[in-house]
């Protein structure tokens, strides 16, 4: 079998075909990152591989590899995604020193061979999860922009008024924005005051748009996977992050593979008589973040989850170690919810966590 590693960039893609048995390069090709370039890459692969089976291993860069992935999948090609963290070992252990696009593409292919192409998540055509991801990314960008405006406004207000104390998070609320704006209107209209008034109006507009996006995300997530939102501690934004980052649970053959991709599966670190596991710092960190948020919220709102954490801590685990165990349970539950048909979920609801 031939594994074609792809190092994708904004303007070009570099492809290297590697024999999965010998690890030897079979061919190298660079194409433009356009539809015509993707067609050229497909023609080159057919010439180089001949009748041999081939798999495309694409570095998991969601913004620059999408067009290439879509064309390859539409043409019936097998495409798997390789997390960037997996290439570090392949690059450092390679015989060729330095860094270039062919070296990186070779590292992608060899990392896929080392991990096993059947173990990697399969790329697929984008569905409704893409809409969720785009809306969520836009929401997060607006929240970040609002936070920056709030920080600038606080500094101006600190300079203007020594008797005005604004609690943390208060500038998200309309009542506090109205209170600040009224104070600014009654003050002499200096340059700083006018800038502060502009910032209040900007924050008000961003807050309105953020709430509209949250409502749109909530409706979309409840339509796609209502059973996920029904989980204890899983709000619409957390459910949206899970849907967007998993991007199709059927890409993972088991919950163990999803746990490994999320970086929540324990990594063996035993030696001699010492039997222990360590934290996995790899995987999709955004997916790991969503699971951590879900674990913390479930511990607050679900008595069964809180009792599980207390039991683990009584066994000598720290709070973070207990949360890592909980996240592994949550991955199993999330995978089941995302892969089981909705009518089966409705027939046998199981929103509570089964923790042992």
The answer to whether 233 and 248 are in contact (CB under 8 A) is: no
Distance CA 211, CA 199 (A): 18
In a domain, 355, yes or no: no
28 in Cβ contact with 15 (< 8 Å): yes
Q: Does one domain contain both 214 and 232?
A: no
Domain boundary among 197, 224, 251: 224
Predicted confidence (pLDDT) per residue in 127-145, tens digit: 778 889 889 999 999 999 9
**pLDDT of 275 higher than 90:** no
Local confidence band at 218 (pLDDT 50, 70, 90 cut-offs): very high
Beta strands in the chain (DSSP E): 2-8, 12-19, 25-32, 54-59, 79-82, 267-268, 277-278
Counting every residue written for the chain, the total comes to: 356
Q: How far apart are CA 216 and CA 128, in angstroms?
A: 13
* 316 φ/ψ sector (left φ>0, alpha ψ -120 to 50, else beta): left
- Distance between CA atoms of 95 and 22, rounded to whole angstroms? 14
State the total domains in the chain.
3
Domain-located, residue 134 = yes
CA distance 306 to 355: 11
Determine, yes or no, domain membership for 353: no
Last residue of a domain, one of 176, 202, 224: 224
Lookup: tokens for 161: 């008024």
In a domain, 111, yes or no: yes
- Do residues 135 and 63 share a domain? no
Domain that holds residue 305: 226-347
- pLDDT tens digits along 232-257: 889 999 999 999 888 777 778 788 88
Does residue 343 lie within any of the structural domains? yes
H or E stretch covering 132: helix 128-160
Kindly state the DSSP code that residue 121 receives in the 8-state scheme.
Answer: P
What is the full DSSP assignment across 183-199? Answer: HHHHS---HHHHHHHHH
* CATH assignment at residue 53: 3.30.420.10
Cα separation, 165 vs 155, in Å, equals 12
- Whether residue 8 is contained in a domain is answered as yes
Could you tell me if residue 78 is inside a domain? Answer: yes
For the segment 147-176, the average pLDDT, to the nearest whole number, is: 93
Asked whether the predicted pLDDT for residue 151 surpasses 90, the reply is yes
Greater confidence (215 vs 121) lies with: 215
> How many other C-beta atoms are found inside a 10 Å radius of the C-beta of residue 100?
11
> To which residue do tokens 């920080």 refer?
151
Compute the distance between CA of residue 312 and CA of residue 305 in angstroms, rounded to an integer.
11
In terms of domains, do 186 and 161 share one? Answer: yes
**CA 325, CA 228: separation in Å to the nearest integer?**
20
Are the CB atoms for 150 and 168 separated by under 8 Å?
A: no
* CA–CA separation, 105 and 108 (whole Å): 5
Question: Are 44 and 75 members of one domain?
Answer: yes
Q: Does residue 215 share a domain with residue 296?
A: no
Do residue 101 and residue 134 come from a single domain?
A: no
**Highest mean pLDDT of the ranges 6-20, 64-78, 196-210, 283-297:** 196-210
Q: Are residues 52 and 102 in the same domain?
A: yes
Residues 211 and 298 in one domain: no
356 in a domain, yes or no?
no
Whether 168 and 109 map to the same domain: the answer is no
The answer, as to whether pTM is greater than 0.85, is no
290 and 187: one domain? Answer: no
End-of-domain residue from the set 224, 258, 289? 224
Based on the domain organization, do 288 and 304 belong to the same domain?
yes
Are 59 and 147 in the same domain?
Answer: no
Pairing status of strand 2-8 against strand 277-278: unpaired
**Please, which pLDDT band fits residue 348 given cuts at 50, 70 and 90?**
very low
């Amino acid at each position: 079998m031939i594994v074609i590693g792809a190092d994708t960039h904004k303007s070009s893609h570099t492809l290297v075909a590697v024999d999965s048995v010998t690890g030897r390069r079979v061919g190298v090709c660079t194409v433009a990152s356009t539809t015509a370039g993707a067609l050229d890459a497909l023609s080159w692969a057919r010439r180089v591989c001949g009748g041999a089976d081939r798999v495309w291993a694409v570095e998991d860069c969601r913004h620059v590899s999408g067009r290439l992935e879509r064309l390859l999948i539409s043409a019936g090609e097998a495409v798997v995604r390789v997390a960037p963290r997996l290439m570090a070992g392949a690059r450092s252990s390679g015989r060729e020193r330095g860094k270039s696009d062919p070296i990186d593409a070779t590292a992608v292919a060899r990392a896929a061979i080392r991990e096993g192409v059947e173990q990697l998540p399969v790329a697929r055509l984008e569905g409704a999860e893409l809409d969720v991801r785009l809306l969520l990314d836009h929401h997060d960008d607006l929240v970040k922009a609002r936070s920056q405006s709030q920080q600038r406004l606080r500094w101006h207000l600190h300079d203007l008024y020594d008797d005005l104390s604004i609690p943390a998070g208060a500038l998200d609320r309309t009542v506090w924005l109205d209170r600040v704006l009224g104070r600014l209107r009654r003050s002499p209209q200096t340059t700083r005051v006018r800038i502060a008034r502009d910032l209040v109006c900007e924050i008000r507009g961003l807050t309105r748009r953020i709430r509209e996006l949250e409502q749109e995300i909530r409706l979309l997530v409840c339509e796609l996977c209502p059973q996920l939102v029904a989980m204890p501690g899983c709000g619409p934004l957390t459910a949206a992050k899970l849907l967007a980052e998993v991007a199709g649970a059927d890409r993972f053959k088991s919950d163990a593979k999803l746990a490994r991709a999320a970086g929540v599966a324990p990594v063996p670190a035993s030696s001699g008589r010492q039997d222990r596991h360590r934290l996995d710092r790899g995987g999709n960190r955004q997916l790991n973040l969503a699971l951590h948020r879900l674990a913390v919220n479930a511990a607050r709102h679900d008595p069964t989850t809180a009792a599980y954490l207390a039991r683990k801590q009584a066994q000598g685990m720290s709070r973070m170690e207990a949360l890592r165990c909980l996240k592994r349970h949550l991955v199993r539950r999330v995978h089941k919810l995302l892969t089981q048909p909705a009518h089966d979920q409705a027939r046998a609801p199981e929103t509570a966590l089964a923790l042992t």
